[in-house]
A and B are shown apart, each in its own frame.
Chain A
């Protein structure tokens, strides 16, 4: 029962490098989203998707790209990493119309940009 799987768990990047954070879910959920968690800030929405082929920006989208070619996968791309992107990243999925819109989260990716 995998749920939401994020890879890698840890990553160190140099400023200017690019990388992709992977997220996959096996619950056939329509909605997927990416959040970042910073001290004292809670979780802030980066990008989200309401279904395959449909994505939209959240609260803090700058410096990140997403695509949703399948229901299962929702990768997050950092185009040119900056120290301000040092954070813990969480991917989440939820089912359309679920009572309370309970979202399931992955275990997170801790990213350090030096």
Chain B
């Protein structure tokens, strides 16, 4: 039973436009949601997080939105750049623990 779902395996966006990556979850007992970015042959790197008590967090071109009633999370990248092409994973931290539960990932391709 996948507790975190990223229903789009891939997404293609034109350079300069907005990229929106989505994530749905079933377990409400979390402290934080996090987004990780992964390039080929490298480990995931942390991108941005959001606390369970907030509905928005912004860091430069990256904004994460949390809709707790819909159990939905989204990452907005504006404007999209070629270097943003990577696989993006959403993950949550189980309340009271340090374990990360990951979604399946979405491969984002930014076209020039």
- Complex Cα spacing A4 to B45, Å: 12
Are A90 and B44 in touch, CB under 8 angstroms? yes
Whether A41 contacts B98 in the complex (CB less than 8 A), given A100-B49, A107-B43, comes out as no
Within 8 A of A (CB), among B29-73: 31-32, 34, 36, 41-46, 49, 51
- Total chain B interface residues with beta-carbon distance under 8 A: 26
A69 / chain B contacts, CB cutoff of 8 Å: none
Q: Contacts A41-B104, A43-B89, A108-B43 known; A100 to B98 CB distance under 8 Å?
A: no
On chain A, the residues within 8 Å of B6 by CB distance are 42
A101 & B93 in contact (Cβ 8 Å cutoff)? yes
Structural contact, B98 and A94, CB atoms closer than 8 A: yes
Complex CA distance for A58 and B42, rounded to whole angstroms: 23
Number of A-B contacts (CB under 8 A): 67
Chain A interface mostly helix, strand, loop or mixed? strand
Kindly report which residue of chain B lies nearest to residue A38, judged by CB atoms: B104
Contact B98 A31 (CB under 8 A): yes
Contact A90 B43 (CB under 8 A): yes
Contact A107 B49 (CB under 8 A): no
Q: Which of A11-19, A44-52, A60-68, A78-86 contacts B (4 or more CB under 8 A)?
A: A44-52
Chain B residue numbers with a CB within 8 Å of A26 are none
Chain B binding surface, main DSSP class? strand
Inter-chain contact B31/A101, CB cutoff 8 Å: yes
**A35–B99 alpha-carbon span in the complex (Å):** 10
CB-defined contacts of B98 to chain A, threshold 8 Å: 31, 33, 48, 50, 94, 96, 101
**Distance between B44 CB and nearest chain A CB, rounded to angstroms:** 5
Q: Is the CB of A48 within 8 A of B99?
A: yes
Tell whether, in the assembled complex, residue A42 and residue B93 are in contact, meaning their CB atoms are under 8 Å apart.
Answer: no
Given A42-B6, A101-B98, A103-B100, 13 new contacts (CB under 8 A): A31-B98, A33-B98, A42-B89, A42-B103, A45-B100, A48-B98, A90-B43, A92-B43, A100-B32, A100-B51, A100-B93, A107-B43, A108-B41
